[in-house]
Structure 1
Amino acid sequence: MTAGPTPEEVTALLQGATQRDGLRATSVDEVDGRPVVVVAGSGKKSLPSFNISTPAALIAATCGANVVKMGSHATSSPTGSRDLAASLSIPESVSASGILEQLRKCSFAFVPIESTVPSLNRVYGRRFHTVTPFSFGLAALACPLRPYATVFGLSHPKVDVATQVLTNFGFSRVHATASVNESTGQWADEFAMGSKTVLATLYEHNTVNTVSHKSANFVPVEPAPPPTGAQSPHRRPTGVFTEIITGQAAESRTNVVTAGTGLILHAAGIEPTIQQGQKRAHKALEEGQPHRLLEQLTGVGHDH
């Protein structure tokens, strides 16, 4: 899989696979004047870390974006986004109407991938621990909305393939990203996490622009769980997340999360650069906005 499949091969595979569940998506650019952004990822990372995408998405929801976070149970990471959301009692939305209701209430909605593609999940769910052709777009395709912009993480260098695949399915303003630890060759479906980051962007003119740069936010691999099965406070799913949202996390962890938020805000057109988006994220943390949103979210009922 180093070379990766072609966009045409992945598109054909996903067209057949998603027909099992009759996926239909509603196009929604804005809700209450705020752009809608879907944040999704392939999972299957070989460079493990704490959960980065979920706090990044939550912070972005306090900075002017309507964020739909796609997530599933863990296969290759210590904690999947769905595991984390469940631990925090964040409600799940599985329909377009349910997502829109959540966005109107608090600008953030969490969508469990397994629930939106149940037939496909029964066949393939949690059976692959490395990148497959499904990894190049399924997580975003499982969303019942077609948003204004999409941020997609891929645990593979061919982010341009994921960008083109999602565009083939009607997504616009796609930003696909991956990070690598160059010394080990381990990849993660996160932005600015490894020693080098790759970002492929596609706008309406259907031209993919791929850039790579060194990252200043390298995050060390998370330690393995204790052999007894007991977890320290920092290994619990909510441990690092809560520290980040409340502004108490280590600087390196906070920086990699806010870099992800910066990318989301830039993709949404809220900030002209990723760097300015990151600054806005830091300000939101200083003001306690993400923590207040989390408290609001956990008091909202579930959409079944």
Structure 2
Amino acid sequence: MAGSKSVVLAALFANGAIAVLKFLAFLVTGSPAMLSEVYHSVSDTGNQVFLLIGIRYGAREATRSHPFGYGKAQFFYSFLVSVMLFGIAGWESASHGYEALTGHGRVLGRQAELLGYEFPGVWASYAVLLGAIGFETYAFAKAYKEMQRQIERHGWSGFREAFRRTSDTTTLTALTEDTVALLGLGLALVGIFLTEQTGNHVYDAAAALLIGLLLMGFAAALAWENKRLLLGESLPAADENDLRRVVEERPEVESIAGFRTVYFGPNEVLVTADVAFDPALDTEEIDDAITSLEDALREANPAISKVYVEPETER
């Protein structure tokens, strides 16, 4: 939790500063790509606020109405972030780039040629974009380090597997945003440079369109990953099978009648097991066996927060 919060705070600081700088550069240059980057950074700044709300809300203690706590709040707010990234930053950037490439964009392009792409206008864009790359690299490094820590902890093969299997949607969202931000800044830099060199505003406008499409694509993937957790996804099959083996290998266990797992918060897993114990055990021995089994499951997977073992009668 502390790692996720530090990642989000780093991204909030970076995106807030970048948004102001990008807007000032847009006022000087009139660049469509720069305006797309303004939309992007404003959206990202708002997104970090949502993620912080999710972290704070998700840390609340369990209540009667929410007996398993509020951990899923982080899944919900991360899903909201993906919607904002798609609907505000992505759609607005793509729409603005498309308009700049077609009718209205030609007027904006001529205005930019007259006012923006001569010194000092274009250099304002370069300075802001390079500064933004520095800020985003700082935020990206924080998110990358936290995700790498989780990969090593869980023994995942790399970031691709982590993207599909992590339940820490806050860190996943921050890392995705930072990655897209760096790619978008690169596109904006190339588009503005080519427009300056050729005098053709199409490159700048095309960069704005590509930035929007990039944002929408990543936002859709992020929404899909959050959806699986909001709907109550279980542990991956391999992890669940490992836990089943922990139960089956206990000498007092005859068989497993039912076994279920579900995420109810980042790195918080609920396990329920219907277990048939050795008929020779008395009630006190079964109670001891259940306690020992719960401890063994938690030791096998530290993400397990709650375990419910229900004794079953062997038929």
For Structure 1 versus Structure 2, the TM-score category normalised by the shorter chain is: under 0.3
As a proportion of its length, which structure holds more strand? 1
Higher Cα radius of gyration: 2
- Please report the TM-score for the alignment, with normalisation by the length of structure 2: 0.21
